[in-house]
């Protein structure tokens, strides 16, 4: 009888331990799932930025080929605006403050460089 009681207590202790491990695994997998969802959103925004950069390149090429056409300039400005919105969408999903700050610096540097190139080219046309 004593042996049966010891086996039952051991089985109960093991069941409790397994229940605790199951709860810990479930909570950590929920955190992992949230991390994956966040990274997926960031990747989707990065792909949107890539697409908008390609559109902006096409618009810039059209403007460079025929700078007298107002529609080419309008297309380039629309592409610039779409790229800005895509970058803002990415920044909105960033949760890490250091990463958000780094992206903000990169965005402002890239924007300044693009405007310098645009201004230099337009000045050379005039």
Q: Which residues contact 41 (CB under 8 A, 6 or more apart)?
A: 93
What is the C-alpha separation between 69 and 77, in angstroms, rounded? 13
At 118, list the tokens. 């645009």
Please state the pTM of the whole predicted model.
0.57
**Tens digits of residue pLDDT in 27-45:** 777 778 888 888 888 888 8
In the block, tokens 């919105």 appear at: 85
Q: Where do the domains of the chain lie?
A: 35-125
**Tens digits of residue pLDDT in 86-105:** 888 877 777 767 666 665 56
């Amino acid at each position: 009888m004593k042996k049966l009681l010891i086996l039952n207590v051991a089985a109960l202790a093991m069941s409790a331990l397994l229940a605790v491990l199951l709860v810990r695994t479930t909570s950590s997998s929920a955190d992992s799932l949230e991390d994956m969802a966040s990274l997926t959103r960031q990747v989707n925004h990065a792909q949107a930025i890539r697409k908008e950069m390609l559109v902006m390149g096409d618009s810039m090429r059209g403007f460079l080929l025929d700078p007298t056409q107002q529609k080419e300039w309008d297309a380039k400005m629309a592409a610039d605006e779409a790229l800005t919105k895509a970058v803002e969408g990415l920044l909105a999903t960033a949760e890490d403050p250091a990463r958000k700050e780094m992206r903000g610096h990169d965005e402002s540097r890239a924007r300044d460089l693009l405007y310098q190139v645009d201004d230099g080219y337009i000045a050379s046309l005039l």
